[in-house]
Amino acid sequence: MSGLASKESPGFVSQDPPAATGSPPAGHFLARYGAIARRLADRPALVLCGKVLLSHGELFDAARDLGFRLRREGATPEDVVALDMGRCPNFVIAMLGCWFAEAAFLPLDPNWPEQRRQTVLQDARPRLLLRTEGAPGELSSLAIRRASDPEPRNNTRHTPQVARAFSDDGLAYLIYTSGTTGRPKGVEVCHRGIVPMLEAQIEAFRMSAESRLLWLLSPAFDASVSDIGCSLLSGAALHIEPRARLTPGPGLPTWLATHGITHVDLPPALLPFLPTSRLPATLRTVVIGGEICAEEVIRAWSSRLRLVNVYGPTEATVCTGLTVCDASWNRALIGLPFPHNHYRVSREGGEPCSPGEMGELWIAGPQLARGYRNAPNLTERRFITHDGTRWYRTGDLVRELEGGNFEFLGRRDRQLKLRGRLIAPEEIESQLSKHPNVSRAAVIRSGQDADAVLIAFVVCKDGCDGDELTRFAEERLPHWMVPATFIQRESLPETASGKTDLTRLADMVHADRVEPAPRLDRNDEEKPDRCPAKLEATIDELWHHVLGKSGFAGSDDFFEMGGDSLAALRLSFAARSRGLALPASAIWTHPTMASQVAYLASASQRETSDHDYCEVTDLERDVRQILSTLPPPEPRFTGPNPAQNTRVLLTGATGFFGLPLLRRLLTHSSRHITVLVRGSDRDAARERICGLLGTDVAPAAARMQSRLTVIYGDLTRPKLGLSPMDWRTLGERIDTICHLGASLSGTAHYHALRETNVVGTAHAMELCRIGRPKHFFFGGSLIAVSGCRPSPETIDERTPLPKAGRIRGGYAASKWASERLVRLLDHPGRTTVVRLGLLTADPDTGVLTRSDNLAMFLKALHRLGCVPDPLPGLWTDVTPIGTAVRIATELLDRDCLEDCVHIVNRRPVSLADLAHAMRYQGVHLDSVSRNRFTQRLEDMAGRARDQHETQGFDLCLDLCQPDTRHPSAYRLFGSTGVRFSEAATCGALGHPGPLCPKVDRAYLANFLDSLGILRGNRLGTSTRHHETDAQRQRTREERHA
Amino acid sequence: MKTMPQSPDLGFFQDRLPADSATARAMLYDGHVFHLEATASTRRLAAEMWAIVEAQLGESGPAREAQFRLDQPGFYSRIGHLRKRFYGTEPYHRAVFDLLQACGFQREAHRCDPMRLRVITDGGFRDPKAAPVYYPHRDTWYANPQAQITWSLALHDMGPEDSFEFYPEYFDRPVRNDSECFDYDDWVQDDWDRKIGWQNAERDRSSTYPQLRQEIEPQRVEAVKAKAGDLIIFAGAHLHRTRPHSVGRTRFSVDFRTVHREDHERGRGAPNVDNRSRGSTFADHMGPDEIGNWGRGRL
């Protein structure tokens, strides 16, 4: 930071910059931030990759210094300075630096195609261009360039105002959005509205100097002004992280927890892909906006934390109003306007609508932009004066509700939102029409929420190539505006008035697509070619297959190109079908095409399947490192521990195994159970648990109110995120810990699971060092041993964790590491490692789940309707979860003295048995060649409806793999070639065994029936299963009672 | 066993508190026991409390002989009244924190369990139902924090024969006990009165009290001999017991317990050598900001 930031305390008021023409008015951002920077000079302002880069005092000084430099370089009030950089700390300095120079900034997205970039630069005519040189973290690397064609000094802009120094009316920024005329339009925003908007947001977001906000959005998106501004004006820390490290799957919550993020502004499309159950307790407020999000998603999120839906067009300074979402969310509310703004719902002629009547939303107030750059006519049309008030006509159709809230109903024009971006289809159509072979084009949106894509219908003169059109569009449009699919038609349907009939086009999308994604040809026996050129072509083809477009550049980011977590799974799947090991976790960490090519190329240096392995020695080192970070144990006696197992802490109580275990502990014992649940507060946590227990059990739980204590915390945080006092009180209250909390993922890398599964285990176990000695039951997994290579042929309770070799899959590695940690961490009490086999849905007890591997696999086979011939010799463990829960409870009842026990079905089931059982029950399964099976699988996988289906098809991929020694990361067939023992468990329970039921034809028939596979060739629905769950559980409980 | 420095005047007992309360607490956690001679304020407090005892029990003779004049239910009924008054009313809550402050312990840093009246009757040990009163024990076996410090105030002069005694060599030596049977949450779940202490034989007979489960042969027994207003301060982790006596009079004293909040949070305190009790009394300790409200509706 040398050269830009000084350690001196900021002194905006006391040390006027020599070249300054005055001080900013009190309402100016710099005046407000100057006060903050003075008051909180040493508090972190910018945090990059977890390291504090600049304090508020340093940031203020750095920006002021840059302002001097910009002035020296010729920047004057009203000049535009282009910021040619992505989301990085320098952007924040540069943005403030421009304001110090009384200039306006113009964000240039580095991912824009050159043609759009040139169009924007020609329109904006910036005087200077700021560019980051070197690594993003190096603050000294800001370079100032003169723009190639600066605007003449005495220009004649359309804007009449001549701004005085640090005026509220001075131009603050210029942002380009999609334009209906075919050209992006530049919105000129003044300073006046920025601070009132930010202050209203800070209050609504409940931000303070203690907050930590993660900035996720592109700086070319005006919501970034809000993220940056709210952070700085509240004295909070703005966290910046390279995109590759922010995995919108399960890894993001872990990252948020690790960094103690309290606030984040997320694209609504991302919400469905983030598991709410794993949101860290630190996360207080999530901000969404820009597009409609599914109601159930909103309800789920708002029950966990403060979810704020913001609304506002770029033309009215980012955000003009907001609403706090709650569990009753059932419509797209945009909230009330901020007190300084005014909304008016107007009819076509400008008359005000009655409450409840649909009309166009007009906005007035200090946040209105000056207008559009170099587009006075458009400005005149959209910014109107009516009854003496200046209004912005948003084009949004809304209606006012009782109580003053407003509901969003759609658009007057054809503009649409896609992944948070406002897009004018006309701009795309205009660009496509410039192709010499295209005579007409129409663009519509297809699909909902995260699955939405743009589809272009084109009428061509001599026939068109979709790839050519994609390339043509990419050269002119930002990536989010490039259609995913091109459909060629001889003519486009028209309405009576001769306009393109968009409704009929939308119907046609559902009927057929002219250019489906190309089929992936594959020869099973062929080894993939791993030379970089071939790999690049292959990756391009795979991306095309998954994203529906082609012609990617090496620097293209899979997620920027429209990929999401489901698409990442599909890509991983498609790669695997080509013999390339590109796990989804690697896609998150290697999002660009070039990095994926490099990843695969480097994998070629190792064995084919090496990519997904962790060295045991590395894990050992990591475990010891985690142990070294723990505080030393308090002096405790190590005498005998006549455990009572009466006050139990249960972690993972909302999980697949934890929930039925909690249910049984509550209904079949008199124990006091404390459950650790994530939630925004204690009430929310309790509500969540009671909701999960189900309506049929909740009364029972209510009867035993005094025996169920719900605390909210976070495994990944030291002391489980509890206050020191709560932590100690908990440690002194309980005598037993059942630690089942873990992230279960078949695709995540070890590092994505480490915080929850390994560090979380250490945190839970630390509790054993407080108060009386405790019995620590650790929910381990047999995969910790069987997943190792080489793997022993027989695994019994005495089989130690392998000390050498490699272990496949992040989940298996995390279970190895957590069991190892449990065995190394000493405490005065006793530890029992409970290694669980592959837990499966249990039709006998009614415990069912959609995410059970066996269920997903059988459903996938059912959808495929075929199996390869010959069937590979694969075996799976089937440990019904109801049985597992019963065994675990009995182990608790009997105060198990064993160090390690297994809960596993020692009689595995072969794939042939499964296929036979399905056929016997009337499920149609053709025997086909492996190639045909693979093709069918690829077809179906491309049409997977959700993540569970994708995982099911991925499990099926094991059937095409010639190498059965390396089954899928989900490990359905982990019993292949391994024999599991449950001798110690039988000994502890005084039972000869086997403890699990034999999985025979009748059992499988029941299982298939419970999945709905046997009923009318129809897949079971989760709704029906939940009902069955409750009914069966009640029957079962009554029988036991 | 640590070697505990002894006061030249009082032997096992230290007669002077270090000026620095952190040092004092560290010494207490190390097993030191302080016997502070009465000051004007402690003497006045003891006298005030004793006057209340006398008003309740001394109408027709010495209060210390009331056990012989009243029938047992009547005697214990009056004792119960006294106990509630000392334990649950504001003046005595305030007195605890004033006393702490006077001894150099910052009141804001502590939470306390208020004053309990100890009533040790002549020959009381002969009643098997009252046996728990005389069990050798550590206060920590009752789910009290390891950082708990007990302050005992003599209301009248008491000799070693009717007071209580320490077994210093067992301070950091484990003894076999059944403290695991004590669960604080169960203990107070139905009856917060139990916090006040043993009430009467009939009522608490079914309750489980942690007991020593071995014979001990202490080489050293340190009994307290105190004058009215003297303060005995010790860690709750000390193994000690009330002395059974037949001196022809009832012994009365009060004690209260304090916990330094930060010490407790940080796990500082006397070593835990054999305590397996569950739960924690700490949450029910009173902070100085709760004076006047604490225990309302529960006592």
As a whole number, the mean pLDDT across chain B is 87
Predicted complex ipTM: 0.78
Q: What is the pLDDT of residue A650?
A: 95
Query: Do A532-608 and A424-511 have the same topology in CATH?
Result: no
pLDDT digits (tens, 9 = 90+) for A701-747: 566 666 888 888 888 888 898 888 888 889 888 889 999 998 877 66
H/E element, A431: helix A425-432
Among candidates A551, A555, A567, which has minimal Cα distance to A474? A551
Residue B266 pLDDT > 50, yes or no?
yes
A288-297, A396-405, A707-716, B91-100 — most confident range: B91-100
DSSP 8-class letter at A720: G
Q: Is residue B87 part of a domain?
A: yes
Within a domain: B259? yes
Give residue-wise pLDDT tens across range B13-72: 998 889 899 999 999 999 999 999 999 999 999 999 999 999 999 888 999 999 999 998
What's the pLDDT score for residue A1041? 35
Residue with tokens 């949106």: A445
State the Cα angle at B88 between B82 and B94, rounded to 5°. 110
A394-403 mean pLDDT? 88
**3-state SS class at A689:** helix
Does residue A61 register a pLDDT over 50? yes
Quick: pLDDT tens for B116-161.
999 999 999 888 878 878 889 999 999 999 999 999 999 999 999 9
Q: Does B266 lie at the interface with A, CB-CB under 8 angstroms?
A: yes
Q: According to the model, what pLDDT value does residue A338 have? A: 94
pLDDT greater than 90 at residue A903: yes
CA distance A422 to A369: 17
Q: What is the pLDDT of residue A609?
A: 43
Note whether A829 contacts B: Cβ–Cβ < 8 A. no
Integer Cα distance of A952 and A783 in angstroms: 19
Residues of chain B contacting residue A734, judged by C-beta atoms under 8 Å apart: 278
pLDDT for res A366:
94
Residue found by looking up tokens 């701009």 in the block = A427
**A139 neighbors A1 (Cβ within 8 angstroms):** yes
Q: Do the chains contact at A706 and B189, CB–CB below 8 Å?
A: yes
Structural tokens at position A700: 């029972």
- Are A847 and A950 in contact, with CB atoms under 8 Å apart? no
- Is residue B174 less than 8 Å (CB to CB) from chain A? yes
Contact A782, A974 (CB under 8 A): yes
Lowest-pLDDT choice from A192-196, A208-212, A572-576, A757-761: A572-576
Which chain A residues are closer than 8 Å to B279 by Cβ?
Answer: 647, 732-733
Whether the pLDDT of residue B253 is over 90: the answer is: yes
- Measure the CA–CA gap between A932 and A108, rounded to whole angstroms: 48
Task: Say which residue the tokens 């059109």 belong to.
Answer: A469
Domain contains B299: no
- When CB atoms are compared, the residue of A706, A729, A772 closest to B283 is A729
In the block, tokens 């390279």 appear at A242
pLDDT confidence tier of residue B207, bands split at 50, 70 and 90: low
pLDDT tens profile A839-891: 887 766 655 665 678 888 888 898 888 998 888 888 888 888 889 999 999 98
Give the one of B174, B280, B282 whose C-beta lies nearest to A637's C-beta.
B174
Answer whether A137's CB lies under 8 Å from A498's CB. Answer: no
Residue that is written with structure tokens 């969404």 in the block:
A288
What pLDDT is recorded for position A387?
86
Distance from the Cα of residue A1031 to its chain's centroid: 34
Beta carbons of A486 and A428 less than 8 angstroms apart: no
Q: Do A772 and B278 touch (CB under 8 A)?
A: yes
Enter the DSSP assignment of A961: -
The residue assigned the tokens 């050498």 is A804
pLDDT of residue A699: 58
Query: Which one of A732, A736, A769, A775 would you mutate to disrupt binding with B, by most B Cβ within 10 Å of its Cβ?
Result: A732
| Distance in angstroms (rounded) separating the CA atoms of residues A468 and A436 | 11
The percent of residues above 90 in pLDDT, for chain A, comes to: 24
Tokens of A221: 């998106």
Q: Provide the pLDDT for residue A695.
A: 53
Residues of B in contact with A732 (CB under 8 A): 143, 145, 278-280, 282
B49 and A CB contact within 8 Å: no
Q: Which residues of B touch A718 (CB under 8 A)?
A: none
Q: Please tell me which of the candidates A636, A706, A732 has its beta carbon nearest to residue B280.
A: A732
Closest by CA position to A904, among listed A805, A824, A981, A984:
A981
- The CA distance from A758 to A780, in Å, is 11
Neighbouring C-beta atoms of residue A199, cutoff 10 Å: 18
Range of A24-28, A553-557, A977-981 with top mean pLDDT: A977-981
Average confidence (pLDDT) over A928-943: 78
Q: In chain A, which residue's Cα lies nearest the Cα of B175?
A: A639
The pLDDT of residue B237 is 95
Most confident of A219-228, A251-260, A449-458, A859-868: A219-228
pLDDT of residue B24: 93
Task: Supply the mean pLDDT for chain A.
Answer: 79
Reported as a pLDDT band with limits 50, 70 and 90, residue A506 is confident
Check: CB of residue A835 under 8 Å from CB of residue A780: yes
CA distance B118 to chain A (A): 27
Is B284 within a domain?
A: no
Contacts of A672 in chain B (CB under 8 A): 185
> Would residue B38 count as lying in a domain?
yes
- In angstroms, rounded to a whole number, what is the distance separating the alpha carbons of residues A1029 and A851? 15
Provide the residue range defining the domain that includes B32.
Answer: 13-279
In this predicted structure, the answer to whether residue A352 has a pLDDT above a threshold of 80 is: yes
User: Phi-psi bin for A29: left (phi > 0), alpha (psi -120 to 50), beta?
Assistant: alpha
| Cα separation, A214 vs A237, whole angstroms | 9
Using a CB–CB cutoff of 8 Å, tell me whether A639 touches chain B.
yes
3-state secondary structure of B203: helix
pLDDT at A776: 93
pLDDT per residue as tens digits for the range A660-711: 899 888 888 888 899 998 766 677 777 778 777 765 555 555 666 668 888 8
Nearest Cα residue to A828 out of A638, A632, A641: A638
Query: What is the domain count for chain B?
Result: 1
Please report where in the chains the tokens 């649940």 appear, as a residue: A677
Whether A38 shows a pLDDT value over 60: the answer reads yes
pLDDT at A994 over 90: no
Q: Do A637 and B278 touch (CB under 8 A)?
A: no
Which range of A127-131, A522-526, A582-586, B190-194 scores highest in mean pLDDT? It is A127-131
Q: Tell me, yes or no, if A227 comes closer than 8 A to chain B by beta carbon.
A: no
Inter-chain residue contact B274 with A772, CB threshold 8 Å: no
The amino acid at B198: W
Topology of domain A532-608, CATH: 1.10.1200
**Is the Cβ of A417 closer than 8 Å to some Cβ of chain B?**
no
Query: B182: domain CATH number?
Result: 2.60.120
Backbone angles phi, psi at A102, to 5 degrees: 60, 25
Q: Identify all chain B residues contacting A773, using CB atoms and an 8 Å cutoff.
A: 276
Average pLDDT over residues A549-554: 76
Contact B198, B204 (CB under 8 A): yes
Alpha-carbon distance values, B14 to B8, B96, B117, B157, B232 (Å)? 9, 21, 24, 19, 10
- pLDDT value, residue A273: 65
Residue B293 maps to a domain: no
Regarding predicted confidence, which is higher, A556 or A420? A556
Token pair 């060295």: residue: A615
Contact A215, A240 (CB under 8 A): yes
Residue type, A867: V
Beta carbons of B271 and A771 less than 8 Å apart: no
pLDDT (tens digit, 9 = 90+) per residue, A286-324? 999 877 677 777 888 888 899 999 999 999 999 999 999
Q: Tell whether A766 is within 8 A of chain B (Cβ).
A: no
Query: Residue B3 falls within a domain, yes or no?
Result: no
Per-residue pLDDT, A667: 83
Task: Identify the band that residue A565 occupies on the pLDDT scale cut at 50, 70 and 90.
Answer: low
Q: Supply the DSSP string of A88-133, one letter for each residue.
A: SHHHHHHHHHHHHTT-EEEEE-TTS-HHHHHHHHHHH--SEEEEE-
Gap from B154 CA to chain A (nearest CA, Å) = 32
Please, which pLDDT band fits residue A1023 given cuts at 50, 70 and 90? very low
Judged on CB neighbours under 10 Å (0-12, 13-18, 19+), A605 is exposed
CATH 3.30.300.30 fits A424-511, yes or no: yes
Share of chain A above pLDDT 70, in %: 78
What are the residue boundaries of the structural domains of chain A, listed by start? Answer: 424-511, 532-608, 839-877+907-978+999-1041
% of chain B surpassing 90 pLDDT: 61
Reported confidence tier of residue A335, pLDDT bands at 50, 70, 90: very high
CA distances from A535 to A569, A575, A605 (A): 19, 11, 14
Put simply, the answer to whether A644 touches B273 (Cβ < 8 Å) is no
Could you give phi then psi for residue A699, rounded to 5 degrees?
Answer: -60, -40
Instruction: Say whether A734 and B278 touch across the interface (CB within 8 A).
Output: yes
Q: What is the chain A residue with the closest CA to B183? A: A733
Tens of pLDDT, residue by residue over A750-787, are 877 888 899 999 999 999 888 778 889 999 998 888 88
Inter-residue contact A141 to A90 (CB < 8 Å): yes
B188 has a chain A CB within 8 A of its CB: no
The rounded Cα A276 to chain-centroid distance in angstroms is 10
Model pLDDT for residues A96-120, shown as the tens digit of each residue:
999 999 999 999 988 788 888 888 9
CA A708 to chain B, closest CA, distance in angstroms equals 13
CA A368, A370, A375, A380 dihedral sign is: positive
Q: How far is A745 from chain B (nearest CA, A)?
A: 36
SS3 A651: strand
What distance lies between CA A1017 and its chain's CA centroid? 34
In the prediction, which pLDDT does A519 show? 31
User: Best-predicted range by mean pLDDT among A259-263, A275-279, A1016-1020?
Assistant: A259-263
The predicted model gives A260-270 an average pLDDT of 84
Residue B185: closest C-alpha in chain A: A733
Separation in Å, CA A873 to CA A32, A792, A893, A967, A977? 70, 18, 39, 12, 9
Question: Quick one: A25 exposed, middle or buried, by C-beta within 10 A (0-12, 13-18, 19+)?
Answer: middle
